[in-house]
Amino acid sequence: MLQIAQRLRRGFRPHLLLLISSAAIGSFMPEGFAQEGFTQGVDLLEPGPLIEKVIGKADAPVTIIEYASMTCHHCAAYHTQTLPELKRLYMDTGRVRYIIRGLATDPRAEAALMLAYCSGDNYFALSDLLYRKQSDWAFARNGGDALLGIARIAGFSQESFTACLTDRKLLADVRRMRDRGLEQYGITAAPTFFINGVKHSGAMSIEEMSAIIDGIR
């Protein structure tokens, strides 16, 4: 939607945050992590409005579903420090199936996630780049220009960049994915993980993730 592109050009403004409710705004704090028990009454594995982004084998004994925002500091640290090692130890060895879902809670997070989906086969590469360069685009005054520069590395032109960010259906699907996480699964922190159905809120180290995975029989 053009509104997103316009917001990017104007720069980040706190009143544009798109958290679902005032309660969510107050509690959306990625401090540490906590096990919160099984999520019941909803099918976590049911795909949402967008194509699932999956790492690992479909028949892996452990399934992890991650909800994260590309403008979240803790999510960036997790994706650049913990996830690569987790992939090496568990996804590449067939022990974990890892599903990544977006939790875009502000306009720039929405834009970044839209670009990742628009990049097709470059989804994971562009997502990684966006997390690594988060400080360049997520909070900078000229974030829109920086985001375009990063998108160009993934093969976007000015025209395809604008076309992606004005895709009304894609924006609606990104918001439905976010709403599903917040409303159906009770997510209050970024990142949040569901490990074989058990919810864990907040970023975790490789040691913490390994302890949980290795403890599953």
- Rounded CA separation 20/142 (Å): 26
Over residues 15-73, the pLDDT tens digits come to: 333 322 222 323 343 334 445 555 544 588 888 899 999 999 999 999 999 999 999 99
**Domain with 117 in it:** 2-214
Using CB atoms within 10 Å of the CB of residue 158, give its burial: 0 to 12 exposed, 13 to 18 middle, 19+ buried.
exposed
Number of domains in the chain: 1
What pLDDT is stored for residue 36 in this prediction? 56
Tell me the pTM. Answer: 0.81
Amino acid residing at 163: A
3-class DSSP state for residue 36?
strand
Q: Which residue is it, tokens 């992939």?
A: 87
What number is the average pLDDT over the span 189-211? 97
Q: Give the model's pLDDT for residue 193.
A: 98
Q: In which band, very low, low, confident or very high, does the pLDDT at 14 lie, cut at 50, 70 and 90?
A: very low
Apex CA 163: angle with CA 102 and CA 51, to 5°?
35
Give the mean pLDDT of the chain.
85
Tell me the CATH number at 36: 3.40.30.10
Give the torsion sign (CA, 178, 49, 158, 119).
Answer: positive
C-alpha 127: how far from its chain's center? 9
Q: What is the pLDDT of residues 113-153, one digit of tens each?
A: 999 999 999 999 999 999 999 999 999 888 889 999 999 99
**pLDDT, tens digit (0-9, with 9 covering 90-100), for 82-118:** 999 999 999 999 999 999 999 999 999 999 999 999 9
